[in-house]
Amino acid sequence: MKKLLTAVALLTSISLFAQSTPKEFTISGTAKNLLPNDKIYLEIAGTQPLIVVDSALVGADKRFTFKRKEVDEGTVYQVNLARAQRVIVLIEGGEAIDIIADGTEKGNAVVKGSKNNDYYQQLIGMYKTMNDKSLKWQEEYAQAEQKKDSKKIAEIQQAFEAAGKDFTAKVKSMIPEMGTSLSALFATNFLNPEVEFATIDALAKRFEKERPTMKQAQVFVGNAKRIRGIQIGDEAPEITLNSTVDKPVSLSSLRGKVVLIDFWASWCGPCRQENPNVVRVYNRFKEKGFEIFSVSLDKDKTAWIKAIEKDGLIWSSHVSDLKYWQSVAAQTYGVNGIPATFLLDKDGKVIAKNLRGEALEKKLEEVLKVNN
């Protein structure tokens, strides 16, 4: 449930990929407390600082209208009603949305005009019901603890767990019918990735296949890939990225050697601190069939090249797509922190992860059969 607070932020994360054909949409509405000439703002929810994309004045009929084009295949907007109430609206393009709101800070709002928003409001309603129950149980639990009523405490715990399972089951049952929509992405925020990753992963694969250019989906797919990651014993997926001179270099070109895939960046302090150890290990084992394939998460090419030169990273395989944390290779390998390393045997299988310094050296002595 805690993930609700970050749900809108997740959906509004921005990545840089191809765009589809923009589609027009309209958002119209009214609120009880609105007056003619009140100003209404259309904002992108979850952005810091808040991005305001449009504004409109309330007419004499106490209604407002926005007419725009959706360029990203899906955006979570919030309609700011004269700074008195904010209403979330999910837009993918082609909608004619109508809002009827109270116009007060904690007032109600009904959003009509798309399945996305129907599902969103249903999920929020389910969450509020669950949250109300939780607050009640918390009060009862505190009272039971004071009275040292172990039987009541057990009953509350059982009730909470049962309600949580029921809530999760309902969310999971809704996701298939939501398809590859913004509401489906939002629904995954109510699922624990450690328990329900199969559902999340299946949806991510569907988005990757059916809506590869949807910005919100690209972020979601990338996060799922990171969770999925690469495990010891897996065959290392191919990486083909450009070198510092813009020539494609493939990981498979090093097949037949023991290879250390090293994810790093010029801006990463711990990476730079570890680089002297990496250089030392490379110099010791380079004549024994050992190579390094460095993947940079930089976004500034000049800074990347300068760091290679300054740290004396003399091996030839340095690659990057300069996409920072949106690096395709980092997503594929489940990298969510750097430095991160994967040691491959001569057949390209992962035999160790995140070895550094002495631990890496000892592993290479073992694999390459080198004496101290």
**Each residue of 303-349: pLDDT tens digit?**
999 999 999 999 999 999 999 999 999 999 989 899 999 999 999 99
Among 39-43, 45-49, 302-306, the least confident range: 45-49
Class of the CATH-defined domain 4-112: mainly beta
State if pTM tops 0.75: no
Domain-wise residue ranges, the chain? 4-112, 119-228, 240-368
Helix (H) or strand (E) holding 152: helix 150-178
Beta bridge partners of 290: 258
Looking at residue 372, its pLDDT comes to 65
**Each residue of 280-293: pLDDT tens digit?**
999 999 999 999 99
Q: Do 102 and 85 form a contact (C-beta atoms < 8 A)?
A: yes
Q: Is pLDDT above 60 for 208?
A: yes
The model's confidence at residue 217, banded by pLDDT at 50, 70 and 90, is very high
Q: Is pLDDT above 70 for 10?
A: no
Q: What is the mean pLDDT of the chain?
A: 92
**Each residue of 113-139: pLDDT tens digit?**
999 999 999 999 999 999 999 999 999
Among 9-13, 230-234, 242-246, the least confident range: 9-13
Contacts 24+ apart (CB under 8 A), 232-238: 232/350, 232/351, 232/352, 232/353, 233/349, 233/350, 234/349, 234/350, 235/347, 235/348, 235/349, 235/350, 236/261, 236/342, 236/344, 236/348, 236/349, 236/350, 237/332, 237/333
Looking at residue 149, its pLDDT comes to 93
Q: Report DSSP letters for 197-258, one per residue.
A: HHHHHHHHHHHHHH-TT-HHHHHHHHHHHHHH---TTSBPPP-EEE-TTS-EEEGGGGTTSE
* CA contacts within 13 A on the Cβ side of 285: 27
Residue linked to tokens 């050697």: 257
Q: Checking phi first, is residue 55 left (phi over 0); if not, alpha (psi -120 to 50) or beta?
A: beta
Q: Domain 240-368, CATH 3.40.30.10 — does that match?
A: yes
